[in-house]
Structure 1
């Protein structure tokens, strides 16, 4: 006697259960085999993609495998349309949840890897990547939740519109905070600077100490800490001094008007010879630039092939000392601010000086007194 259970006989049920068991065993075996092979392969490679893939596969849920097996076995059964739809929706829901879990583990693995690589150089990486991870994971689970609701026939259009209106209201209320938050993510991804860089923002310079969710803090040369909001700092022009590759130097020297014509013509050559003799320096030019109020001015330009400020100062000091010695040997004098006053009648000035020297003071001027009344 054949027994009928939910519209199917026992033989049909046995075949369906066998298919479900076979699919579960096959999926579990393949997943374990691929995960082990990937883990073994990842140990011999420098990339992190295979490590993440092995970790993701190792987190495959048994519920997912069981649901796929049940769904495969149920295809052999004769189900009512309502039961078939319910079973299909259940399988799709489990699949979406498993995909979300895989993606969540992948995002967390990538963020942990980033923090391991950048944590020593960029102290703020932990905070910034935590914010980025929260935003990405929240968006991921929100999308999965909407897809599950849509799978069960829920009209998500109104829900999405409501979320959009509510999101706009919330965004308007906390727009400054959100602006700084997204600016923090922009700094993290674009990397105009990192912790340890010396930057100049709106004429204010210092070493970056911390990049947070809302503010960036730099330490100035005077020792005080200067705090910028992330939005303001990205709106300004940022000069990253640490990433300077070369340093262009221009300086001016002045000599007195007493130099001869031969000395004047020889000075540019002297300057070129002295600058070119320095290490890690590329000479650019040396010219007699202008007639100054009390000096003949020469401009020298050279390029230091490194950004090291201490080395630049050592080079400039060596150039200054060499110039002092070379000019001294050539009889060329450095100019200093002087002013010459020319008198229209020098004879009168010399006469007045002689009168002071003879009498010790200027002779008093004669005065005519008015006659006394009788």
Structure 2
């Protein structure tokens, strides 16, 4: 059989044989994709039988589309290399090669994004099994940071294909880079603050904290800032650098809440009445099951011209704010009721009276 026609040039120095091979390569790529998909289906069917559906989703996301894109781009570059396109007059070969490499870089970046998503899913499922909720908040910013790095590397690689040096661009922007670095000083400080939060874990999502005069529940911890919802439903956003140089009070870590108030009686109360009043309060606190035993204190702490001061202090077992308010109210009402039963007059609020009526000048 005479195959000499295969070497005949048809267009731009491309022979018939090269065109035939270039036409066959996409068919081979299609067959390769079919084989890969069948293999993946078998793998995923086995994984489904084992019951780990999350792994099935990860394998499907990681391999199906990325492998198809890689096969197509590899075939594209193979066809370009096989055809040996001319450089004159339009530099077709150079442009085709460059576009092929750009496509390969994009596909590799696409695969890298899928790998990051898969590991992010694994990290999210692992974080859900831990007690702290900070891990859940950490996955998203770390994932976004890694994707940003992949995107920057991709852009630098694409610029390199068009003859631009990434290091040269960075050097040419050195002055602007200094300005950006100076402006980003607070951003870097916030990132360092977030590292402190995630490493030392002074609080977690849902904790009640008090920071720089802001008190409320932690809703979200990010790379740059932390969101706190105050009790009046106001949302405060604090830069993370705040946590590196101020006191952080985690009220949720308390083992109890303190009930503390003072009752001021008049001097009309006798010693016997005072002793009975103090003993009655102590007995009432000792009977409560929602207070820590042996931590309550009822003492006469003041004896002056303003009256007789009785200090009442107790610690609740529950740290829930609503339950604390109920307990405190019951104790206050009980103390008031005991004072009424024993006819002990409580010192009224001071009244400030001016000599003369309103508008009447004072006498000098």
TM-score under structure 2 normalisation?
0.54
Structural RMSD (CA)? 6.2
User: How far did residue 238 of structure 1 move?
Assistant: 5.4
- State the secondary structure of the residue aligned to 1:292: strand
Match of 1:98? Answer: 107
User: How far did residue 2 of structure 1 move?
Assistant: 6.2
1:327 touches 1:333 (CA, 8 Å); kept in 2? yes
User: How far did residue 336 of structure 1 move?
Assistant: 3.1
The alignment of Structure 1 onto Structure 2 pairs a total of residues equal to 312
Match of 1:66? Answer: 72
2:262 touches 2:309 (CA, 8 Å); kept in 1? no
User: How far did residue 65 of structure 1 move?
Assistant: 0.7
Question: For 1:28 and 1:181, how far apart are their aligned partners in 2?
Answer: 49
- State the secondary structure of the residue aligned to 1:305: coil
Question: For 1:102 and 1:244, how far apart are their aligned partners in 2?
Answer: 48
Question: For 1:32 and 1:237, how far apart are their aligned partners in 2?
Answer: 59
Structure of larger gyration radius: 1
User: How far did residue 210 of structure 1 move?
Assistant: 9.7
Q: Which of 302, 305, 310 pairs up with 2:315?
A: 302
Match of 1:57? Answer: 63
Q: 1:47 to 1:31 in 2, by over 3 A?
A: closer
TM-score under structure 1 normalisation?
0.53
Q: How does 1:184-195 map to 2 (within 5 A)?
A: none
2:160 touches 2:166 (CA, 8 Å); kept in 1? yes
Match of 1:322? Answer: 334
Q: 1:281 to 1:72 in 2, by over 3 A?
A: farther
2:229 touches 2:235 (CA, 8 Å); kept in 1? yes
Q: 1:67 to 1:313 in 2, by over 3 A?
A: closer
Q: 1:296 to 1:252 in 2, by over 3 A?
A: closer
The answer to whether residue 150 in structure 2 is matched with residue 145 in structure 1 is no
Match of 2:92? Answer: none
Q: How does 1:15-164 map to 2 (within 5 A)?
A: 25-31=31-37, 33-34=39-40, 37-38=43-44, 41=47, 50-60=56-66, 62-68=68-74, 94-105=103-114, 136-147=146-157, 156-162=166-172
Question: For 1:191 and 1:34, how far apart are their aligned partners in 2?
Answer: 45
Q: 1:304 to 1:96 in 2, by over 3 A?
A: same
The CA deviation string for residues 243-285 of structure 1, in whole angstroms up to 9 with x for no partner, is 8774233334456672249x74x77664444224334332323
Where does structure 2 lack aligned partners over 5 or more consecutive residues?
A: 10-14, 85-94, 125-137, 350-364
Match of 2:301? Answer: 290
User: How far did residue 59 of structure 1 move?
Assistant: 2.6
Match of 1:364? Answer: none
Match of 1:280? Answer: 290
Question: For 2:209 and 2:25, how far apart are their aligned partners in 1?
Answer: 66
Question: For 2:312 and 2:340, how far apart are their aligned partners in 1?
Answer: 19
Q: How does 1:139-218 map to 2 (within 5 A)?
A: 139-147=149-157, 156-162=166-172, 166-173=176-183, 178=187, 200-205=210-215
- State the secondary structure of the residue aligned to 2:347: coil
1:278 touches 1:315 (CA, 8 Å); kept in 2? no
Question: For 2:139 and 2:237, how far apart are their aligned partners in 1?
Answer: 20
1:18 touches 1:73 (CA, 8 Å); kept in 2? no
1:218 touches 1:227 (CA, 8 Å); kept in 2? yes
